[in-house]
A and B are shown apart, each in its own frame.
Chain A
Amino acid sequence: DAMVIQNPRYQVTQFGKPVTLSCSQTLNHNVMYWYQQKSSQAPKLLFHYYDKDFNNEADTPDNFQSRRPNTSFCFLDIRSPGLGDAAMYLCATSGSGGSYNEQFFGPGTRLTVL
C-alpha cells in the first residue's frame, strides 16, 4: 500500500544534542509537510516543501530546519533541542493538481528531550 512512513516512531535525545527525524513516502506526492503536535494540542504546521521549494511558517523557530533530497524523502533537523521541543512530529504529503488535494499523514515520531 502507498503510504507515509516515519522513522523512528520514538526518539529520545538529550538537551542541546542535534536530532534528525525522517519521513518517506511511496505516494509520489510533490508536497511534503512537517507538523509539531504537543500533548493535547492540535498539529501546528512548521514548514512544507512544494517540490524543492521550501516554505517556512513565520513563527517556526530557527532551531528547526528541513531537507528534501528527493521526492520520496524529507528530514526534520532540530539543531539544539530544548525541553519545549518534546512533541509528536507528523509528516504529511499531498498532490498539487486539481481543486482539492487530501493530505496523507504518517504515524508520527514522538520526541523526548532529556
Chain B
Amino acid sequence: DAKTTQPNSMESNEEEPVHLPCNHSTISGTDYIHWYRQLPSQGPEYVIHGLTSNVNNRMASLAIAEDRKSSTLILHRATLRDAAVYYCILRSQGTGNQFYFGTGTSLTVIP
C-alpha cells in the first residue's frame, strides 16, 4: 500500500474550521483515501473515505486534489471532542481490506 505523509501535530481554536493535510504522492489509480481518527484511550473510528471526488458526511468533508497526490480532511467547526489523532490511509481496491496506518496528525483543540 502507498505511503502517506501528515504533519505530526496541529492546533485549532474551538468552533473554527480545521484543515488536516495528507500527502500521498505515490497513490495509484485504484487506491481509496481513508481517514480514521483515534480519540484518547479508544480504538480508531471511521471518519470518511473517497476515491476521486470530494466527499461530505455528517462528521467531515474530504477534499481530494485533482492529481490525487494530496487530500485534506476538513472539520467545519472544531469542538473539544474532535481532539484526536487523525490518520490518513490508502488502500487499494480489490486487495484485502487491510489498513496500514501512517503516523497521523495529533489535533489539539483550544477552548
Q: Which residues of A contact B (CB under 8 A)?
A: 4, 31, 33, 41-45, 48, 50, 55, 90, 92, 94, 96, 99-108
CA of A42 to CA of B103, assembled, Å: 6
A106 nearest CB neighbor, chain B only: B43
Q: Which of B38, B99, B103 has the most CB of A within 10 A?
A: B99
A108 nearest CB neighbor, chain B only: B43
Chain A residues with CB under 8 Å of B103's CB are 41-42
Contact-residue size bin, chain B (C-beta under 8 Å from the other chain): 20 to 34
Q: Residue B46 contacts which of A43, A55, A103 (CB distance < 8 angstroms)?
A: A103
CA of A63 to CA of B38, assembled, Å: 27
CB distance from B102 to the nearest CB of A (A): 6
B96 touches A50 (CB 8 A): yes
A45 touches B98 (CB 8 A): yes
Q: List 28 A-B residue pairs with CB atoms under 8 Å apart, sorted by A's residue number.
A: A33-B98, A42-B87, A42-B101, A42-B103, A43-B38, A43-B44, A43-B99, A44-B101, A45-B98, A45-B99, A48-B98, A50-B96, A55-B96, A55-B98, A92-B43, A92-B44, A96-B97, A99-B93, A100-B32, A100-B49, A102-B46, A103-B97, A104-B46, A105-B43, A105-B45, A106-B43, A107-B41, A108-B42
CA of A68 to CA of B93, assembled, Å: 26
Chain A residues with CB under 8 Å of B99's CB are 43, 45, 103
CA of A97 to CA of B15, assembled, Å: 38
Q: Mark B95-111, 1 if CB is under 8 A from A, else 0.
A: 01111111110000000
Known: A42-B87, A42-B102, A42-B104. A101 touches B43 (CB 8 A): no
A94 touches B43 (CB 8 A): no
A90 touches B96 (CB 8 A): no
A107 touches B100 (CB 8 A): no
Name 10 extra pairs, CB < 8 A, besides A106-B43, A107-B43: A4-B43, A33-B98, A41-B103, A42-B103, A43-B44, A48-B97, A103-B36, A103-B99, A105-B42, A105-B43
